[in-house]
Amino acid sequence: MPFPILDASRFASGSPSQRAQHARELLDHLRQHGFVRLKNTGIPTQAIHEAFALGRQFFELPLEEKCNIVNPPGPSPQRGWSKLGAEKTSTLYGKLMGYEMPDDLKDAREHFDFGPPDDPLFPNRWPSSSAVPLFRPALEALYARCEEVSHDILTALAEAFNLAPSTFVQHLSPNASEFRINHYPAISDAELSSSKVERIWPHFDLGVVTLLFADGSGVGGLQFEDRARAGGSFLDVEAGEVGEVLVNVSETLQRWTAGELPAGLHRVTKPEGARGQVPERFTMAYFCKAARHAKVDALPPFRKKRVEGGVEREVDEEGITALEYQQTRLLTAY
């Protein structure tokens, strides 16, 4: 499906009317679909190409080299390399929706994750500079650009809601966002049709918004929920150009807006028409996340009201922090 493409430069450097129009369209598309595609975000296409090339080099490293920086399974933010099938997105979604998923459902994917530079609480795990030269500086630079883009997106959404521009962004500091490079190895279409294996099972992302980058190979398989139809229907999403960014609403933003912006359900499955061997696929994702101490319940402008003794009061919220929420959710994925 050709999702709407918005020109992000209209908000970054456009006239007041262009900024307002972009903000309205961004809100409308995310409210309707949970997803939107952006172009002209200010992230250099060459930086994206370089990051994908370095990611490929990393996944081609010998197993023992990757095992030196393996991500320990558990509820903490992911750091380093996760082997094929380490994360179970099927249970991540099933637990949230309140039903049990079979234990033998597997994700056909490995990935590398890192968070804020010099994170003292959850240090990053990087391969040696001799193993993949320039890997760390290139990815940290791209991470910083993604942070800027995500702030622009959330500022635009706040303005579209007629709220203060900092309504969402103020809850992002100190930065706790994460970056991931996904590698989906080549796999037979028979295995992907077995009902036991998916490249990624249907799930929501945990953060505020996600920025997804395609590698330009044209290998499909990404699908989003078709909200216009009931019964778990999904729509194919075109890979798009390398310089474009696919944005989706994640669980925290849904909670902050009390459901005004529902999180986007998505999966990666067998590309339409695939026969025999399905080629390998690479993607990169920047998971914009709330500061660890920030609450992930409805923000004041979105809180429901109740009347007590003739006085309107806000409904009490749970008060769970972003870190507590993430750790609770990740426990189900390992």
* Residue 309 C-beta-side C-alpha neighbours within 13 Å: 0
Range of the domain at 320: 5-333
Q: Check residues 47 and 84 and name the one with the higher pLDDT.
A: 47
Q: What are phi and psi of 211, to 5 degrees?
A: -105, 120
Quick check: 315 pLDDT over 80?
no
Quick check: 93 pLDDT over 90?
no
Quick check: 141 pLDDT over 90?
yes
Determine the pLDDT at residue 201.
81
Q: How many domains does the chain have?
A: 1
Quick check: 292 pLDDT over 80?
yes
Quick check: 309 pLDDT over 60?
no
pLDDT in tens, 13-35: 999 999 999 999 999 999 999 99
**Nearest CA among 186, 211, 205 for reference residue 282:** 186
Distant-in-sequence contacts of 219-222, Cβ < 8 A, 24+ apart: 219/271, 219/278, 219/279, 219/280, 219/281, 220/271, 220/272, 221/184, 221/268, 221/269, 221/270, 221/271, 221/278, 221/281, 222/266, 222/267, 222/268, 222/283
Confidence of residue 176 (pLDDT cuts 50, 70, 90): very high
| Domain at 120, CATH number | 2.60.120.330
pTM above 0.85, yes or no: yes
**Cα four-point dihedral sign 47, 49, 52, 53:** negative
